[in-house]
Amino acid sequence: MSRVHSFSATIQYKGTNYNGWQIQNGQAGKTIQGEINYALKKITKSELIHTIGSGRTDAGVHALGQVIRMDLPFMIEPIGLQRALNALIPADIRILEVKKIDESFHPIYNAKWKEYIYCFSTSTIISPFDRELVAQYPYEIDIAAMKNGGRLFLGKHDFCNFSCTGTEVKSTIREIFEFSLEPINGGHPWINLASSGATANYYLFRIRGSGFLKQMVRLIVGALFNLGRGKIKETDIAAALVAPYGVKKVGFVADPEGLYLAEVHY
Amino acid sequence: MSRVHSFSATIQYKGTNYNGWQIQNGQAGKTIQGEINYALKKITKSELIHTIGSGRTDAGVHALGQVIRMDLPFMIEPIGLQRALNALIPADIRILEVKKIDESFHPIYNAKWKEYIYCFSTSTIISPFDRELVAQYPYEIDIAAMKNGGRLFLGKHDFCNFSCTGTEVKSTIREIFEFSLEPINGGHPWINLASSGATANYYLFRIRGSGFLKQMVRLIVGALFNLGRGKIKETDIAAALVAPYGVKKVGFVADPEGLYLAEVHY
């Protein structure tokens, strides 16, 4: 049996036109992994390729620094592999770096922490240039209350009430290390909504943790949106974090456009 | 005959998915004007509507502040018209403001000046989040030479050599008031290419003039790109500006992704 040659890649993608990272049997739609596998098969002229992502991102979710492992049937120069991949994959996926790695490296199990960001706007008009990159939540919300509520998620908790049901995982316990929520000056430096008639209010939610369950970030953001509009109280969030299962849903799954897998740290 | 009620609107659009501003008989593809006319017909339940733009933008070209005139068969509150339009047109077109105007207002003839910007990157990798908003010119170019060359366009010139042939216009003389070319820190404040493996070099070209011929800005940018790579000399540009017709082409039509109609001033 031929030896496997393993590489890691840091990749960035705009998830708008994809059905998430992971190839899903029987499900329609393009995936990021599907595009990369297709290119690797072309480059190696072989079906003996295998890829693993550090986490699946859902349909419409973006990545600034997704880390993947690629196993190929023979050795290739990393810089050549990067160039060949970028030439073959669509422009809304870019390979930022390729490194030769040890066969023991696993992008999920070796990760020390992951950071997600969620960008949203409370404006009634979103710039045509940002609309696929920012979630719109056009309501009056209490950002200070959301900042306070976000602190409840810090530390080690059972996040079963902040996970999409039906996910197969050994444990729903995760640890959140950092959380922040700040206003930002939105938009490109060269593109801004004209001041006439529209002002853009952008906010950036940042969360860093040991790992995340399926839809966990979007459910946390949804709970904080509910808190910001006064639909739930801090005590509801606290209850959902201590009493696994059976508590009423405190959050909804916030829209995917604003979510980015920002960094995976090893 | 019923009286016409005239409105102006300032609109912003991402031109990527459109065949330019203007409805073109017999040509395939969606246009911005087509989308707005369709919405106006729905709002007024009438075919008696008429729109004029301050200038046609070509396929793939964006606008930050296109100004249009809309003639409707009856009176509507401007704020209500804005909201109804934004509810009916696609999200990559946004109406920033609607004003009631005098019937004598003409968006082309009354314009004092127009400003276009052109954003480009010389990087080999463009962020997936910017690729439809920035033109890629991945070559080593002499920006200082381009800045010097750009000054040649200032003042009143016959721009026939910087216009797409076959355009029906009374005169090809236009006046350029201002021009600048500066590096910018590209990308969204919350989205940047990871420093690993890719650095983004973004530049912003800005030009303000009395009016612009078809493809004039892109031909000027193309000439400056040629100058920046040493393919032509300043004297070639100067010759193209003093000797109408017959001089060899000094520029090519630069890609549309980087071009924005930024402002129309009345």
* Contact between residue B198 and residue A94 where contact means Cβ atoms under 8 Å apart: yes
Per residue in B5-26, pLDDT tens? 999 999 999 999 999 999 987 7
Q: Nearest CA of chain A to the CA of B14: how many Å?
A: 6
Return the CATH number of the domain spanning residue range B5-100: 3.30.70.580
CA distance A13 to A94: 6
Output the CA angle A78-A83-A84, nearest 5 degrees: 95
pLDDT surpasses 80 at B196? no
Per-residue CA distances from A261 to A212, B41, B191 (Å): 11, 43, 11
CA distance A125 to A136: 9
Residue-level pLDDT at B114: 97
The residues, any chain, with a CB within 8 Å of residue A6's CB and separated by 6 or more, are: A69, A70, A71, A72, A100, A101, A102, A103, A105
Of B246 and A14, more confident: A14
CA distance A97 to A75: 17
CATH 3.30.70.580 intervals, chain B: 5-100
Q: Could you tell me the pLDDT band of residue B200, with boundaries at 50, 70 and 90?
A: low
Residue-level pLDDT at A196: 39
Does residue B58 carry a catalytic annotation? yes
* Residues 110-129 of chain A whose Cβ lies under 8 A from any Cβ of chain B: 117, 119, 125-129
What is the DSSP track for A151-162? GGG-EEEE-GGG
Output the CA angle B132-B134-B140, nearest 5 degrees: 135
* Contact between residue B122 and residue B201 where contact means Cβ atoms under 8 Å apart: yes
Residue-level pLDDT at A186: 64
Output the CA angle B124-B217-B174, nearest 5 degrees: 160
Per-residue CA distances from A233 to A145, A164, A229, A243, B207 (Å): 9, 22, 10, 16, 53
Tell me whether A4 touches chain B (CB under 8 Å). Answer: no
Residue-level pLDDT at B2: 59
Residue in B253, B261, B102 with CA at minimum distance from that of residue B167: B253
CATH 3.30.70.660 intervals, chain B: 113-265
Residue-level pLDDT at B67: 97
pLDDT surpasses 80 at A27? no
CA distance B150 to A53: 47
* Contact between residue B172 and residue B163 where contact means Cβ atoms under 8 Å apart: yes
Question: What percentage of chain B reaches a pLDDT higher than 70?
Answer: 93
Tell me whether A196 touches chain B (CB under 8 Å). Answer: yes
Tell me whether A261 touches chain B (CB under 8 Å). Answer: no
Output the CA angle B191-B193-B198, nearest 5 degrees: 170
Indicate which residue of B58, B92, B102, B255 is catalytic: B58
Residue in A160, A149, A130 with CA at minimum distance from that of residue A229: A149
Residue-level pLDDT at A2: 59
3-state class (DSSP) for residue B98: strand
Lowest model confidence (mean pLDDT) among A78-92, A134-148, A152-166: A152-166
Helices (H), A46-201: 78-88, 143-150
For the record, the structure tokens of B108 come out as 């082309």
Per residue in A238-257, pLDDT tens? 999 987 766 667 989 999 99
What is the rounded average pLDDT for all residues in chain A? 91
pLDDT surpasses 50 at A106? yes
Residue-level pLDDT at B167: 63
Tell me whether A35 touches chain B (CB under 8 Å). Answer: no
Q: Which contiguous run of DSSP H or E holds residue B33?
A: helix B32-44
Instruction: Count how many residues are written for chain A.
Output: 266
CATH architecture of the domain with range A113-265? 2-Layer Sandwich (3.30)
Of A171 and B188, more confident: A171
Per residue in B232-260, pLDDT tens? 999 999 999 987 766 667 989 999 999 99
Per-residue CA distances from B124 to A86, A94, A190, B107 (Å): 10, 11, 21, 39
Residue-level pLDDT at A170: 83
pLDDT surpasses 50 at A114? yes
Taking an 8 Å cut-off on Cβ atoms, the answer to whether A191 and B64 are in contact is yes
Q: What is the dihedral of CA B122, B128, B130, B136, to 10 degrees?
A: 30
pLDDT surpasses 80 at B61? yes
Residue-level pLDDT at B166: 66
Per-residue CA distances from B216 to B37, B57, B196 (Å): 27, 11, 38
ipTM for the complex?
Answer: 0.88
Residue-level pLDDT at B198: 46
Of A163 and A67, more confident: A67
Cα atoms in the 13 Å half-sphere on the side-chain side of A236? 15
CA distance A254 to A216: 10
CA distance B178 to B208: 5
Residue B204's DSSP bridge partners are: B119, B182
CA distance B67 to B79: 16
Strands (E), B61-187: 62-72, 93-100, 113-121, 135-136, 155-158, 173-184
Per residue in A176-227, pLDDT tens? 999 999 988 766 777 765 543 445 688 999 999 999 999 999 999 999 999 9
Mean pLDDT of A96-102: 95
Residue-level pLDDT at B195: 43
User: Which candidate in B81, B129, B260 is best for mutational testing of the A interface (most A CBs within 10 A)?
Assistant: B129
pLDDT surpasses 70 at B118? yes
3-state class (DSSP) for residue A203: strand
Q: Could you tell me the pLDDT band of residue B168, with boundaries at 50, 70 and 90?
A: confident
pLDDT surpasses 80 at B222? yes
pLDDT surpasses 60 at B199? no
Cβ-based burial of A245 (10 A; exposed 0-12, middle 13-18, buried ≥19) = exposed
Q: Nearest CA of chain B to the CA of A12: how many Å?
A: 7
pLDDT surpasses 60 at A156? yes
Tell me whether A131 touches chain B (CB under 8 Å). Answer: yes
